[in-house]
Structure formats: C-alpha cells, structure tokens
Amino acid sequence: MPRLAITPGEPAGVGPELLAALANSDLPADLIAIADPDLLRAAARASGLALDIVPYIATEYVQHRARGSLRCIDIPLRSASHAGRLDAANAAYVIDTLSRATDGCLNAEFDALITGPVQKSVINAAAIPFTGHTEFFATRAGVNVVMLLATPALRVALATTHLSLRNVPDAITREGLIATLSILDRDLREKFGIATPRIAVLGLNPHAGEGGYLGREEIDTIIPAMEILRAQGMQLIGPLPADTAFVPEQLALCDAVLAMYHDQGLPVLKAQGFGEAVNITLGLPFIRTSVDHGTALDIAGQGKADPSSLIAAARMALQLVNTSRTKAAS
C-alpha cells in the first residue's frame, strides 16, 4: 500500500483529532502519523473514536490497514498539551515532526506527505522563524515551489504566497512568473496527468490594468513573461481581470488559474468548496497536500471538528501517488 506520512500540526488545535478521524476512514493506504502517540490517543478519546496505534518500523510494509488503525513515528511533545491553549514550548515539537516527515519524503521512505494545520504565531513566538509549510519545505528541499489549492472543480495557484499586500507588486517579476508557470505546467502534466495544461493567468490590477490606465504591471511584467512561455508551447490565457475570470464559461476553458496574490484567488475557491479544498505544494521532489483551514483552537478537543478537508487531502495525495506510479510504469 502507498505510504502516506501525516503530521497533525499544532498539538493544541484540531489536527490530532482530525488525524484520528482519518484513521477511521476507509482510505486504502498505509497511514503513518509523525506525532506524539499519547497526544493522538487523547484526541481520539475526546472525539469518541477508536484508534489503534502501531509503532512504525520502516522495513515492514503493510498490505492491508484495518479501519481505525495507523502506524506512528514517536516524536514526543516538549510540554503537556491542552486543547485550545497554545504553548510556545511545543513549537520545536511541531518543527521536529515536519523535519522528520520531509527527510522521509526526500529519501523515498514515504510516498507522500499530508499536513495538518499549524499556528505560525506560536512558532515565531518561540523564536523559530516560520512563514508557513510551503516555505519550510521549499527551503529544506532546496527548490522553488508553487502553492496550489484545488477543489473537485477548480485549481488556483499563487504567484506570491504569504506577503503583505503592499509588498506584492515588487515581488512579481518576469523571472518569478516564468519559474512559477513552468512549475505549474510541469506538475499539471506529471502529477495530475493533464497532457496539455491550459492555464489562465490573472492580472494584478483591476481590469488587468485596463491598458496601463490602472497600472503597468500587466504590460511591463506579466505579458512579457507569458509571451516567452507561449513561444515555448505553453497554453496560457490572459492576463484576465480577476473579477470575471472565475465565471463558469471562463473556467471551462482552463485547467488551472494563476492568481497574483493570496486573497485574489483563494476566497473564490474556498467559497466554492470549503471543506473539499486541498492545499498542494508543487515543485517539491515529493507529493505534499494539506488541509485548507487553520487550527480552530476554539473548538479543539470538543469532537466538533470536521475532518472533510484532511480526508480530501489524503485522497488527493493517494490520487497523485497513483498517477505518478502509472506514468512511471508507462
């Protein structure tokens, strides 16, 4: 069975109980939690879920996983965790789980990685610089990456990720757009099995700049980058005004949308499919998916958390693994 590594994220959030719910799904994969097993057991009890945790042994391969079971790589908490209460003492624990997961993916020990939500603020409060999963994996793997969120009906990639809005225009360059679109095009082919991807590119400014009247980024940066890639055979549409790019008639013409900044594209995607959306990091030498929500500290430990997004992330990871295996065998 494919080995899917899972990190539950912030121990005081909903991640541990979502992982227990994932273990109780019928996902046909070897689920390997990278976490403190006692934390997972406590989360399962609080949610009224059965959970059978088996110590992970790398040389053992699973042919069948019983519902409610998973294997676990024991990463101990640094401090006792209490649902809903952040503790900077456990920031290093979160980083330890991510580091172990990354190393296992880079050496092909795992087929894919699924991550639960982290709390960036408490990690930084512990004097550990951390801007997000995407940036962490990019740095550790030494590659450029692209953030893509996907629902069953829509894929939205980002040219910039977690930046202040006032810093976005300076971060959008021809070279950066060429790199981002190249990664997006390649992974749509290799990971999603789309032979000739069609990518809609949004403008930065209202009305895509309206011929320069509302801004020149489209004329000076976005269009020149697109022309270079079109000359190489890439199928690019736009730049399109963001306020009309997501109408059904337009979306029917493309396989993915590249938004220029975080809140340009993601509100549309999450309004359309919150709970079904999956965060995927493209450009990594391994498959990584994640939930589309945060730590939900206000409901943590109460058995109220909806596991739909984590289950969707795991199913997407399994789909990408199977697509990659099929392409490798052909």
For the sheet with 69-74, list strands across it.
52-55, 69-74, 30-35, 3-7, 112-115, 287-290, 278-282, 146-150, 155-158, 256-259, 198-202, 235-240
Is there a binding annotation on residue 180?
no
Q: How far apart, in Å, are the Cα atoms of 28 and each of 18, 159, 318?
A: 17, 34, 8
CATH number of the domain to which 277 belongs: 3.40.718.10
Query: Can you name the residues that pair with 311 across neighbouring β-strands?
Result: none
- Can you list the pairs that 38-44 forms with residues at least 24 positions away whose Cβ atoms lie under 8 Å? 38/77, 39/8, 39/11, 39/77, 39/81, 40/8, 40/16, 40/72, 42/16, 43/16, 43/17, 43/19, 43/83, 43/301, 44/17, 44/20
Given 264, 283, 302, the domain boundary residue is: 283
Is there a binding annotation on residue 293?
no
Is there a binding annotation on residue 162?
yes
Is there a binding annotation on residue 82?
no
Q: Does 48 lie in the same domain as 82?
A: yes
Q: pLDDT-based confidence at 292, cuts 50/70/90?
A: confident
Residues 29, 318: contact at Cβ < 8 Å? yes
Q: How many domains does the chain have?
A: 2
Q: Does 264 lie in the same domain as 223?
A: yes
Minimum mean pLDDT among 150-154, 195-199, 203-207: which range?
150-154
Is there a binding annotation on residue 205?
no
Mean pLDDT of 302-320: 93
Is there a binding annotation on residue 270?
yes
Tokens read off for 225: 């980058």
Q: Does 91 lie in the same domain as 168?
A: no
pLDDT tops 80 at residue 18: yes
Averaged pLDDT of the chain: 94
Q: pLDDT-based confidence at 220, cuts 50/70/90?
A: very high
Q: Does 171 lie in the same domain as 234?
A: yes
Q: Does 106 lie in the same domain as 14?
A: yes
Gap between the Cα atoms of 111 and 193, Å rounded: 17
Share of the chain above pLDDT 90, in %: 88
Q: Does 259 lie in the same domain as 278?
A: yes
Q: Does 93 lie in the same domain as 13?
A: yes
Q: Does 102 lie in the same domain as 39?
A: yes
Q: pLDDT-based confidence at 163, cuts 50/70/90?
A: confident
pLDDT tops 80 at residue 273: no
Q: Does 291 lie in the same domain as 278?
A: no
Q: What is the per-residue pLDDT for 4?
A: 98
Given 283, 300, 318, the domain boundary residue is: 283
Q: Does 169 lie in the same domain as 81?
A: no
pLDDT tops 80 at residue 328: no
Q: Does 289 lie in the same domain as 182?
A: no
Mean pLDDT of 273-298: 90
Q: What is the per-residue pLDDT for 104?
A: 97
Is there a binding annotation on residue 64?
no
pLDDT in tens, 94-150: 999 999 999 999 999 999 999 999 999 999 999 999 988 988 999 999 999 999 999
Is there a binding annotation on residue 279?
yes
Segments forming the whole domain that contains residue 323:
1-143+284-329
pTM over 0.85: yes
Q: Does 213 lie in the same domain as 91?
A: no
71: buried, middle or exposed (CB in 10 Å: 19+, 13-18, 0-12)? buried
